[in-house]
């Protein structure tokens, strides 16, 4: 469609949702439950079609990874909202200062209205359904802009949503960057964006024109630290599981790892052995994911070329070929002690390349992490619980896992979100419900109260009373 036609369609969809919200601003639980149940059925009834579409977009995405990392968590978060949503809706009693008793106070969660969701390509289902569940549980309506880099999935989602939801409930808008720019310029009541930091800045600028609050999930360089004495046979499998899932195309993938200097070679050998055990056929293993497209593939190759030119030691983790250019498949690579000046140490890698850095003092590793832009996740491997707690206290990160990777993102009882360059805001479960609600404070004055004593004209005793009150 032409740009002006696309803008007109966006405006019409938004106006229809805004009007629908005006007519029914506080949907009851049966209405919200019905929407959540339809969303759950959409996922469960179309699993093979979802797998097929995502596999086509990636040019080779293991179906089991789509089940594990997309379909299962999408089902889980929806069922959590169905179980707890009615309770989240309840009015919440709030504390009243003793000076205002016997007045009462409460918090009333109210829907915000129309929420925009801009999803990305690496987990196109879960990164749509995750925030959408919270949006629907909170009683809102949603417009969704999936990524143009996942065209098969985006077309499927648009069709499936149109079959099960009215356009004034949920609408899917497909298109390229022009559509995305027009979408983020709409005066949403809240806007959720998942993607890269640079695009996140543009989204935030567009939202600022409408004073639209934003939730930004941006990623970053999530560090892994193996503390002295922690068994490599426990650390390496969890690190590689987090790094090789989706061929590293995960916003919370371990981006680089710190290892005690005297254990560096042991780590490299353990990583090579584990990678080959996970994918014994190397690049021919259909349980290993392709890089999504030629553009992302070329970016990863540039990182490796720059590292080679800088003389960085490279260790290929698979047997056999290390790349398949026509299929944009790249075998996992360890880069040993690359200098911080390289692009692979500045940019979020988003691929199967793992820089491994050696350290002599654990404090040096922590200082390095703190000197970097604040990441979305920290992975700390340590059986010394006080030391692990101290590490969490010393670092500023969006979330953390101790002795594992990725697992915090699938805990509906934990908020998920970034900090600083890795994003702002959070969602998941009750935290998402609150993010997409207006928690309206309500103060209910008692028939008998003392406030009239403090109204003009001010009598001398008012100063005396205030002095007494300030001392208590």
The answer to whether the pTM exceeds 0.85 is yes
Domain ranges in the chain?
A: 3-218+422-439, 223-413
Amino acid 6: pLDDT: 63
Give the CATH fold of the 223-413 domain. Aldehyde Dehydrogenase; Chain A, domain 2 (3.40.309)
Amino acid 148: pLDDT: 95
Taking the C-alpha atoms of residue 70 and residue 245, their distance in angstroms, rounded to an integer, is 12
> Which CATH architecture best describes the domain 3-218+422-439?
3-Layer(aba) Sandwich (3.40)
Contacts (Cβ under 8 Å, ≥6 apart) of 35: 136, 165, 169, 170
Amino acid 452: pLDDT: 79
Amino acid 447: pLDDT: 86
Taking the C-alpha atoms of residue 404 and residue 406, their distance in angstroms, rounded to an integer, is 7
Antiparallel, parallel or unpaired: β 377-381 and 223-226: parallel
Under DSSP, is residue 354 helix (H, G, I), strand (E, B) or coil?
Answer: strand
User: Would you state the structure tokens that stand for residue 252, as one six-digit string?
Assistant: 């919370």
Catalytic residues: 217, 251
Amino acid 458: pLDDT: 85
Q: What angle do CA 235, 283, 410 make, to 5 degrees?
A: 45
- Asked if the domains at 3-218+422-439 and 223-413 fall in one CATH topology, the answer is no
Residue bearing tokens 């999930």:
217
Antiparallel, parallel or unpaired: β 104-111 and 437-444: antiparallel
pLDDT under 70 in the chain at which residues? Answer: 1-6
Taking the C-alpha atoms of residue 106 and residue 87, their distance in angstroms, rounded to an integer, is 15
Q: What angle do CA 346, 347, 352 make, to 5 degrees?
A: 115
Closest CA to 191 of 154, 144, 250, 235: 144
Taking the C-alpha atoms of residue 444 and residue 132, their distance in angstroms, rounded to an integer, is 34
Amino acid 5: pLDDT: 45
Phi, psi angle pair for 259, to nearest 5°: -135, 140
Under DSSP, is residue 226 helix (H, G, I), strand (E, B) or coil?
Answer: strand
């Amino acid at each position: 469609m032409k740009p002006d036609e696309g803008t007109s369609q966006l405006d019409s969809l938004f106006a229809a949702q805004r009007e629908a919200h005006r007519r029914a601003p506080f949907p009851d639980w049966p209405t919200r439950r019905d929407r959540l149940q339809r969303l759950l059925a959409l996922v469960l009834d179309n699993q093979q079609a979802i797998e097929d579409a995502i596999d086509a977009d990636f040019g080779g995405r293991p179906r089991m990874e789509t089940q594990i990392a997309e379909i299962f968590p999408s089902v889980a978060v929806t069922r959590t909202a169905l179980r707890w949503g009615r309770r989240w809706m309840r009015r919440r009693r709030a504390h009243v200062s003793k000076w205002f008793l016997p007045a009462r106070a409460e918090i009333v969660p109210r829907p915000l209205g129309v929420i925009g969701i801009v999803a990305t390509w690496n987990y196109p289902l879960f990164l749509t359904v995750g925030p959408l569940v919270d949006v629907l549980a909170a009683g809102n309506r949603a417009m969704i802009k999936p990524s143009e880099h996942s065209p098969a999935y985006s077309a499927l989602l648009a069709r499936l949503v149109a079959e099960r939801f009215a356009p004034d409930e949920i609408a899917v808008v497909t298109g390229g960057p022009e559509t995305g720019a027009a979408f983020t310029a709409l005066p949403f009541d809240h806007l959720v964006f998942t993607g890269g930091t640079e695009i996140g800045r543009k989204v935030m600028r567009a939202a600022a024109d409408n004073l639209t609050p934003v939730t930004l999930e941006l990623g970053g360089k999530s560090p892994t630290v193996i503390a002295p004495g922690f068994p490599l046979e426990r650390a390496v499998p969890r690190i590689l599981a987090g790094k090789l899932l989706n061929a590293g195309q995960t916003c919370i993938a371990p981006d680089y790892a710190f290892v005690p200097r005297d254990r560096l070679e042991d780590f490299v050998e353990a990583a090579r052995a584990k990678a080959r055990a996970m994918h014994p056929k190397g690049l021919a293993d259909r349980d290993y994911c392709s890089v999504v497209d030629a553009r992302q593939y070329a970016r990863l190759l540039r990182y490796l070329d720059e590292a080679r030119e800088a003389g960085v030691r490279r260790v290929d983790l698979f047997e056999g070929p290390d790349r398949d250019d026509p299929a944009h498949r790249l075998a996992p690579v360890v880069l040993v002690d690359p200098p911080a000046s390289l692009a692979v140490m500045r940019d979020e890698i988003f691929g199967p390349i793992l820089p491994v850095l050696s350290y002599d003092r654990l404090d040096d590793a922590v200082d390095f992490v703190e000197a970097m832009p604040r990441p979305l996740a920290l992975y700390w491997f340590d059986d010394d619980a006080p030391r692990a707690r101290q590490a969490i206290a010393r670092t500023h990160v969006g979330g953390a896992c101790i002795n594992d990777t990725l697992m915090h993102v699938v805990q509906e009882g934990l908020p998920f979100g970034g900090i600083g360059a890795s994003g702002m805001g959070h969602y998941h479960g009750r935290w998402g419900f609150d993010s997409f609600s207006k928690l309206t404070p309500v103060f209910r004055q008692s028939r008998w109260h003392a406030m009239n004593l403090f109204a003009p004209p001010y009598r001398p005793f008012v100063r005396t009373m205030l002095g007494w009150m300030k001392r208590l």
